[in-house]
Amino acid sequence: MRTEEPGRATARRPPDRKARIAAAAGDLFCERGYHNVSVADVAASVGITAPALYRHFKGKPDLLLHVVTGVIEKIAATAQAAPDLDSYLCASAARSVDRRGAAILWQREARHLPEASREELRRALSDIAGRIGALLKDARPELSSSDLELTAWCVVSVFGSISGHRAALPRRRFEQLLYELGDVAAHHPLGTAVISVDDEPGPTQLYADLAVSRREELLNAAIRLFDERGFQSVSTDDIGEATGATGPSIYKHFPSKTDLLVAAVLRGGEQRRSATERALARAGTPRESLNELLRSYIEFAQRHSHLIGLLIGELDQLPEKERKSSRQAQRDYLALWVHVLDEVRPGLDTAEAKITVSAVMTVVDNAVRTGRLGERPDLADRLFEICTALLLRTGSNS
């Protein structure tokens, strides 16, 4: 009969080790991106070896699927458990502060999963929006099914928006602000605003109407593929195939795949800057400046939804110099919004302003990139009125 040596403790595997591994992986995927994290990195962060991790997960893809699925299941549980809309808003505000990186996982990292898994996750997210729509219908029976869908996704976007920035507030105030923003998105009347059409095409539209060269074809294809699959998952052969060219022919126009990404991100920044300058030049008062800034961003997002995807998810893949420059451009753009908003709402706390503006941008970004929403002919009008209400914090029941 075998006995333990006196004084020697038997190592026991913690019962929650799998959950610890998943939590650590989620944090690392949010911080560095899926392709920049190894199994060994995750194991080390938990204090185990890689072979020990494989007792729980088949590999990194299996780990990513578990993490993203877990995030969506928690969001779904919050929606399903809420007896009414207000309860959902309160619970989501608290959950979002606790797991503020959650949206990044299903927005950015889920692209690296197999198509079948992504489709299943999309259905799960649609079910969540449907459940929120049901809560909204109880509170706002006058809304059409399409408006319920739009409003539900706007509410989801508000709570997910804090994944994209680091602005912070004291816990209680942070939750309260998110609740207020979610409440505004949920209750603001629809059909009250119409954006006038600018008959004079700006540089962006003029550019879009030009004949497309082979170089532009390659760049446009790369932008779409990088957004849909992620930079690391796209090869030059993929880009060539999308344009009817061979992979090596790409190098006649771009020295490397990274140069394609750099050119794409630079294009996004330049076109957004041009649209912003034109918008602010039309304004005469602080409120007009805010209106024009919002209007220009909605137009930009609708015309360049794949570029929006790159600016959200692929900046970390840029070389250091370009990455720093792009990050600074993002901070400068946010600072411009905060400055304009401060002129309309003097004395607004800077952190609250950043959180509010980030919520507005996320609402726009997600709406133009989400299924049927992007096809609504009145989407620009509806986004303008919802986002204006968010910026001014009007139309809420709170």
CA dist., res. 225 & res. 231, Å (int): 8
Same domain, 132 and 220: no
Whether 264 maps to a domain, the answer reads yes
For residue range 114-146, what is the model confidence (pLDDT) as tens digits? 989 999 999 999 999 999 999 999 999 999 999
CA dist., res. 39 & res. 69, Å (int): 18
The one-letter amino acid code at 388 reads T
CATH (domain of 230): 1.10.357.10
Whole-number mean pLDDT of the chain? 89
Same domain, 104 and 210: no
Same domain, 212 and 349: yes
Whether 163 maps to a domain, the answer reads no
The one-letter amino acid code at 25 reads A
Same domain, 126 and 224: no
How many structural domains is the chain composed of? Answer: 2
CA dist., res. 42 & res. 28, Å (int): 7
Whether 188 maps to a domain, the answer reads no
For 341, the domain range is: 203-392
The first and second tokens of residue 250, run together, are 């790409």
Least confident of 190-199, 210-219, 296-305: 190-199
Same domain, 356 and 220: yes
Same domain, 385 and 261: yes
CA distances in angstroms from 395 to 4, 207, 373, listed in the order given: 69, 38, 22
Q: Which of 88, 122, 139 is the last residue of a domain?
A: 139
Whether 197 maps to a domain, the answer reads no
According to the model, what pLDDT value does residue 383 have?
97
Whether 243 maps to a domain, the answer reads yes
Same domain, 220 and 299: yes
SS (H, E, C) 103-156: HHHHHCHHHHCCHHHHHHHHHHHHHHHHHHHHHHHHHCCCCCHHHHHHHHHHHH
Same domain, 345 and 212: yes
Same domain, 130 and 214: no
Report the candidate in 251, 226, 255 with the shortest Cα–Cα distance to residue 238. Answer: 226
Mean pLDDT of 160-169: 90
CA dist., res. 367 & res. 381, Å (int): 12
CA dist., res. 100 & res. 165, Å (int): 9
Same domain, 130 and 208: no
- Between residues 100 and 246, the one the model is more confident about: 100
Report the candidate in 284, 385, 391, 388 with the shortest Cα–Cα distance to residue 348. Answer: 391
Q: Which of 123, 139, 155 is the last residue of a domain?
A: 139
Max Cα distance, the chain (Å): 91
Same domain, 222 and 133: no
pLDDT at 194 over 70: no
According to the model, what pLDDT value does residue 165 have?
85
Whether 153 maps to a domain, the answer reads no
Report the candidate in 29, 58, 56, 55 with the shortest Cα–Cα distance to residue 42. Answer: 29
DSSP secondary structure, 279-305, as one string: HHHH--SHHHHHHHHHHHHHHHHHH-H
pLDDT at 109 over 50: yes
14 Rama class: left (phi>0) / alpha (psi -120 to 50) / beta: beta
Q: Which of 139, 168, 187 is the last residue of a domain?
A: 139
Whether 2 maps to a domain, the answer reads no
Whether 146 maps to a domain, the answer reads no
